[in-house]
Chains A and B, each alone.
Chain A
Amino acid sequence: MALIELKELNKTYNNGQPLHVLKGIDLSIERGEFVSIMGASGSGKSTLLNILGILDNYDTGTYTLDGKLIKDLTERQSADYRNRMIGFIFQSFNLISFKTAVENVELPLYYQGVPRRRRRELAMEYLDKLGLTPWATHFPNEMSGGQKQRVAIARALITHPQIILADEPTGALDSKTSVEVMQLLKQLNQEEGITIIVVTHESGVANETDKIIHIKDGIIGQIEENIHHDAWGGPLMK
């Protein structure tokens, strides 16, 4: 069974005027895939990602994650699933500004109840893996965009999630750093086998992934296999 199964998923926002954002999404993503969801703004790609990340709920249809039906969960359950199965990478990094890099990275473990010392050890290990050891005690505003995003990636990885959801991970980065971040994600996918879903509106970013899912007006359009992108080896297009 696929890691992620979406069947006839519908979502409507009721902010004054009803807005039908997702109009029957059918999608399945296998374990270990490196996928991008691409679409223009307003296409529903972010809503889809939020639903995948259990940050938002949906109206009809089903969403199965790792064999578990994700529907009508309590906030406690969804928090637990998010904590154990999903790692988030955001466009704006979403680091807590008054916590140092290492404190930010260890925060998911805090909510798992991992003891402080063990937490700190693991966080340092992941920071080291991402080449951030010298910045461990720096606050987010003392780091560059690329460094911040790498801290966020370390935070996403520390709980060994099933999937990593990245919402425009390069949106706030310059092109050189963007390449580095995408390389890092690709490497994580290839070496650790982590399923990664990237939401983007940039074809250059999407092109770095193995599969490009086009979404338009709330409906899945073309699904493009992009398995040979490595052969191109070209730089990211901005």
Chain B
Amino acid sequence: MRIEIIHEIASSLRNNKLRTALTGFAVSWGIFLLIALLGAGNGLMNSFMGNMQEYISESVTVEGWRTSMPYAGYKEGRDIQLDQTDLDYTQAPRWQGTIENVSLATAFTSATLSLNGLSVAGSLRGVMPEYQQQEKIRMAAGRFLNPDDVRENRKSIVVSSAQAKELLPKNPEKLVGQWINTGSVAFRVVGIYSTDESNMTRLCPIPYSTYKGIYDPSDKVEAISFTVNGPNTLEEHRAFEKNYTAGIKARHHIAPDDNRGLWVNNGYTENLQMHKASRMIRTALWILGILTLVSGIVGVSNIMLITVKERTHEFGIRKAIGAKPGAILKLIIAESISITAVFGYIGMFMGMVACQIMDKTVAQDVVNIGGEEIRMLVNPNVGLDVALEATLLLIVAGTLAGAIPAWKAARVKPIEALRAE
């Protein structure tokens, strides 16, 4: 009986080519749009996430800012300067196990870097080795500052590849190990960081201790950075941040709800928010895709309804010569399934091809935004699992779409069906 029904369907589809083609087109188009849309969406998301992850590090940085509210007898608009006490607070036993890898950074000092008569502008900043991780600095040559540089107050400096090119145009990498002049003090270049993805091309990290010794012997602290251990969710991270900053705010007489007294760059919450945003975009894409799919399903059920009406007389004949209601039901549903399956597969295939075409064309285009080179689409593809799931969903929906008219057809009395024209 199984093979029989396939022959029945094949002949019925073959003999109703236009109807088959129209139904099939509705199905293929729906699944094609879904796959292409999801593919493009994924490409966009990959590009977005990829670009953002270049900058967002898993760390928290706190700096003093300017208050925006009067508090405890102080006026608003007061500049906040962090100092040693804030560092002590951060390293207090209270935060042990939660706050780790504490590092400091100084303010910036402008300097002119020069070597053999060539010079370039630079902005010196005293930092600790952890800074590389926090700012996601990638080395092009040499190394970043290490603990020894800080401990021994070495006059080490890391320059950008752009600066290296200015100072040693012919062979920038050879700059590593050379002494360069920064006005009053000479520094030895220990590494060159690559500048392709970053616009901080003038930053020149030097050891924190060296900077403090030369440019700022006070106990002022410009930026405190650390990693956080423990909180997982966005809410937990926010709670931690509030909890932690409350101590510093109290010390500096900043209103607890003043968000401008301290500048807090929380990479954890940013990351989580970004993931949340990306999830929302993904959900939106799926909703759009599913709506597209629904229009395909509506198309199928519409055509199935018309088909069943058109074929009522034929079903009447079949019933008169002994077709049971179940046989009619099976015939229509099986037809519906085979149409959606075959054309759904074609649509899926075409959608994947469209994704490949996007990958080979649009995804190769590089857009220059504010000195950064960005690919609008990165790897615009839909996983085979998702594609198969979507096709399966369409087949199930197609079955349901066929089931209602099929059920109607199966129930109509043979004598009425025979009278229908």
- A interface residues (Cβ-Cβ under 8 A, vs B): 50, 53, 55-56, 75-76, 79-80, 82-84, 88, 90, 94-99, 103, 107-108, 110-113, 116, 155, 159
Question: Are A107 and B414 in contact (CB-based, < 8 A)?
Answer: no
Whole-angstrom CA separation of A94 from B419 in the bound complex: 11
Structural contact, A107 and B318, CB atoms closer than 8 A: yes
The winner among B322, B323, B413, B415 for most chain A CB atoms within 10 A is B322
Question: Which chain A residues lie closer than 8 Å to B319 at the CB level?
Answer: 79, 82
Asked if A98 and B11 make an inter-chain contact with CB atoms under 8 angstroms apart, the answer reads: yes
B1 and chain A: residue at smallest CB distance: A113
Q: Which of B324, B326, B327 has the most CB of A within 10 A?
A: B324
Tell whether, in the assembled complex, residue A53 and residue B320 are in contact, meaning their CB atoms are under 8 Å apart: yes
Within the assembled complex, what's the spacing in Å between the Cα atoms of A155 and B322? 12
Chain B stretch 105-161: residues in CB contact (< 8 A) with chain A: none
B296-320 contacts to A, CB under 8 A, are 313-314, 316-320
Stretch at the interface among B2-10, B35-43, B353-361, B386-394: B2-10
A99 / chain B contacts, CB cutoff of 8 Å: 11, 15
Question: Contacts A98-B12, A98-B15, A110-B4 given: A55-B414 contact, CB under 8 Å?
Answer: yes
Give the Cβ gap from B89 to chain A, nearest Cβ, in Å: 84
B317–A94 CB distance below 8 A: yes
Which of these, B8, B15, B325, B411, contacts A110 with CB under 8 Å? B8
Judged by a CB distance under 8 angstroms, whether B272 is at the interface is: no
Contact B418 A75 (CB under 8 A): no
CB of B369 within 8 Å of the partner chain? no
Q: A84-B322, A88-B320, A95-B317 are in contact. List 6 more A-B contacts (CB 8 A).
A: A50-B415, A82-B319, A82-B414, A112-B322, A113-B1, A116-B4
Q: Please indicate which of the listed interface residues B321, B325, B414 has the most CB atoms of chain A within 10 Å of its own CB.
A: B321
CA distance A142 to B48 in the complex (A): 65
Residues of chain A with a CB closer than 8 A to B316's CB: 94
Contact A75 B324 (CB under 8 A): yes
CB distance from A49 to the nearest CB of B (A): 10
Q: Give Cα A95–Cα B313 distance, bound, in whole angstroms.
A: 10
Is B16 interfacial (CB 8 A cutoff)? yes
Contact B324 A76 (CB under 8 A): yes
Per-residue CB proximity of B400-421 to A under 8 Å, as 1/0? 0000000000010111001000
> A111 to B327, Cβ gap below 8 A?
yes
Q: With a CB–CB cut-off of 8 A, which chain A residues contact B314?
A: 96-97
In chain B, what residue has the closest Cβ to A119? B4
In the complex formed, the residue of B with least CB distance to A77 is B324
Residues of chain A within 8 A of B4, CB atoms compared: 110, 116
Task: Determine whether the beta carbon of A75 is less than 8 Å from that of B325.
Answer: yes
Bound complex: CA of A207 vs CA of B371, how far in Å?
101
Q: How many whole Å from B59's CB to the nearest CB in chain A?
A: 72
B323 near A98: Cβ-Cβ < 8 Å = no
- Whole-angstrom CA separation of A96 from B320 in the bound complex: 12
Q: How far is the CB of B381 from chain A (nearest CB, A)?
A: 42
Q: Which of B313, B324, B418 is A80 in contact with, Cβ under 8 Å?
A: B324
What distance in Å separates the Cβ of B82 from its nearest Cβ neighbour in chain A?
85
Question: Closest 10 CB pairs between A and B?
Answer: A83-B322, A98-B15, A111-B322, A79-B324, A55-B415, A108-B321, A56-B415, A94-B317, A55-B414, A76-B324
A84 to B323, CA, bound (A): 11
Q: Report the minimum CB–CB distance from A222 to chain B (whole Å).
A: 28
| B222-239 residues at the A interface, CB under 8 angstroms | none
> Do A83 and B11 touch across chains, with their CB atoms under 8 A apart?
no
List which B170-206 residues lie within 8 A (CB) of chain A: none
- Cross-interface CB contact of A116 among B3, B321, B325, B326, cutoff 8 Å: B3
The chain B residue sitting closest to A85, CB to CB, is B322
Please give, as numbers and ranges, the residues of chain B lying within 8 Å of A95 by CB-CB distance. 317
B11, A94: Cβ atoms under 8 Å? no
Most buried by B among A84, A98, A116, A159: A98
Given contacts A94-B317, A96-B314, contact A79 B322 (CB under 8 A): yes
Chain A residues positioned under 8 Å from B3 (CB to CB): 116
Expressed in whole angstroms, the Cα–Cα distance for A99 and B16 within the complex equals: 11
Q: List 23 A-B contacts (CB under 8 A).
A: A53-B320, A55-B414, A55-B415, A55-B418, A76-B325, A79-B322, A79-B323, A82-B319, A82-B321, A90-B418, A94-B313, A94-B320, A96-B314, A97-B314, A98-B16, A99-B15, A107-B318, A111-B318, A111-B322, A111-B327, A113-B1, A116-B4, A159-B322
Determine the distance from Cα of A76 to Cα of B3 in the docked complex, in whole angstroms.
22
By the criterion CB–CB under 8 Å, are B320 and A82 in contact?
yes
The 8 Å CB contact of B321, one of A88, A97, A113, is A88
| Closest B residue to A112 using CB positions | B322
Distance in angstroms from B13 CB to nearest chain A CB is 10
* Residues from chain A with Cβ under 8 Å of B16 in the complex: 98
B314 nearest CB neighbor, chain A only: A96
In the complex with contacts A110-B4, A116-B4, A103-B324 CB distance below 8 A: no
In the docked arrangement, what's the CA distance between A217 and B276, Å? 79
Residues in B with CB closer than 8 Å to A53 are 320
Q: What's the minimum C-beta distance from A10 to chain B, rounded to whole angstroms?
A: 17
